[in-house]
């Protein structure tokens, strides 16, 4: 099946469960986003159900700081005041937020640690796909650390140093080890998994009120 055909066949069916709140105070809200739920509304009335709209039921003042892909689960932080939104947004923009992901990859990735340094840009004829372009791409770096090999697959922790769209997914594909279950970048048997095997395990940032470093995590569901 071609990529475009796959997009035409896509039906948005978000999970019914309420997002799990990990922490909140007067300035921030930290949640564990389930896979299959948009971070923000998509195009069309059928894509209005999303994480931020669900959170507004209990936290009407909630403000977006960053996003996770539809198919990715894990830790997200939201702001509850405009000042907190600006403070957190600057930390993301200045690469001061430490992000750690868990993924399962096709094949056995070696060596056990390394860095991918490949510039990325949107692949316009096939958007929302991204691709490597050494002339016009924006810098993108990802560190990896193998956790273990599992029967022809690899469990890794991924530490993005930049925050490009689909960065982890494209970088792993470029290594020849696509993330299992990836509907955009995996083919054949690597694609035939019940979900994208990518989870935002932890976030570390400075609290907008006072600047104290805080870390939040959510256990990997696969």
Res 8 pLDDT > 80? no
Q: Catalytic site residue 69?
A: yes
Round to whole Å and give the CA distance between 77 and 55. Answer: 12
- CATH 3.40.50.10480 assigned to 3-217: no
Give the pLDDT confidence score for residue 27 in this predicted structure.
98
pTM of the model: 0.94
Task: Scan for tokens 């470029």, then name that residue.
Answer: 174
pLDDT tens for residues 68-97?
999 999 999 999 999 999 999 999 999 999
Q: Are 19 and 31 in contact (CB under 8 A)?
A: yes
Instruction: Answer yes or no: are the C-beta atoms of 161 and 106 closer than 8 Å.
Output: no
DSSP letter at 125 equals G
Total length of the chain: 222
- Give the model confidence (pLDDT) of 31-69 as tens digits: 999 999 999 999 999 999 999 999 999 999 999 999 999
In the chain, domain spans: 3-217
Respond yes or no on whether the N-terminal peptide bond of residue 183 is cis (omega within 30° of 0). Answer: no
- Residue 101 CA to residue 192 CA, distance in Å, equals 21
- pLDDT value of residue 1: 33
Q: For 114-133, how does the pLDDT look when each residue is reduced to its tens digit (9 = 90+)?
A: 999 999 999 999 999 999 99
Instruction: Fill in the DSSP letter of residue 39.
Output: S
Concatenate the DSSP letters of all residues of 154-181 into one string.
EEEEEEESS--TTHHHHHHHHTT-PBTT
Model pLDDT, residue 2: 35
Q: Do 3 and 126 contact (CB within 8 A), yes or no?
A: yes
CA distances from residue 127 to 3, 106, 130, 165 in whole angstroms, order as listed: 10, 24, 7, 11
> What does 99-136 look like in DSSP terms, one character per residue?
EEEEEEEES---SSEEEEE--EEE-GGGTT-EEE-TTT
**What is the pLDDT at residue 18?**
86
Q: Using CA atoms, how far apart are residues 217 and 100, in angstroms rounded to an integer?
A: 9
| Neighbour-count burial of 24, counting CB atoms closer than 10 A to its CB (0-12 exposed, 13-18 middle, 19+ buried) | middle
- Above 70 in pLDDT, residue 7? no
Note the pLDDT tens digit of each residue in 148-195: 999 999 999 999 999 999 999 999 999 999 999 999 999 999 999 999
pLDDT at 4 over 60: no
Given 9, 25, 69, 117, which residue is catalytic? 69
């Amino acid at each position: 099946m071609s990529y475009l055909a796959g997009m035409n066949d896509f039906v948005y069916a978000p999970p019914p469960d309420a997002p799990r709140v990990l922490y909140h105070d007067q300035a921030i809200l930290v949640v564990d986003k389930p896979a299959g739920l948009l971070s923000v509304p998509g195009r069309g009335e059928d894509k209005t159900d999303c994480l931020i709209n669900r959170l507004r039921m209990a936290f009407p003042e909630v403000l977006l700081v960053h996003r996770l892909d539809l198919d990715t689960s894990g830790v997200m932080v939201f702001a509850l005041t405009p000042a907190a939104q600006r403070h957190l947004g600057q930390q993301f923009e200045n690469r001061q937020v430490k992000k750690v992901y868990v993924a399962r990859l096709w094949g056995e990735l070696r060596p056990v640690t390394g860095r991918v340094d490949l510039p990325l840009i949107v692949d316009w004829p096939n958007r929302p796909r991204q691709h490597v372009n050494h002339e016009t791409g924006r810098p993108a770096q990802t560190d990896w650390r193998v956790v273990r090999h599992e029967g022809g697959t690899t469990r890794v922790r991924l530490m993005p140093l930049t925050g490009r769209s689909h960065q982890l997914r494209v970088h792993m594909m470029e290594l020849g080890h696509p993330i299992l279950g990836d509907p955009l970048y995996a083919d054949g048997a690597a694609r035939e998994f019940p979900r994208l095997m990518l989870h935002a395990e932890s976030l570390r940032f400075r609290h907008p009120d006072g600047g104290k470093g805080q870390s939040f995590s959510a256990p990997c569901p696969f």
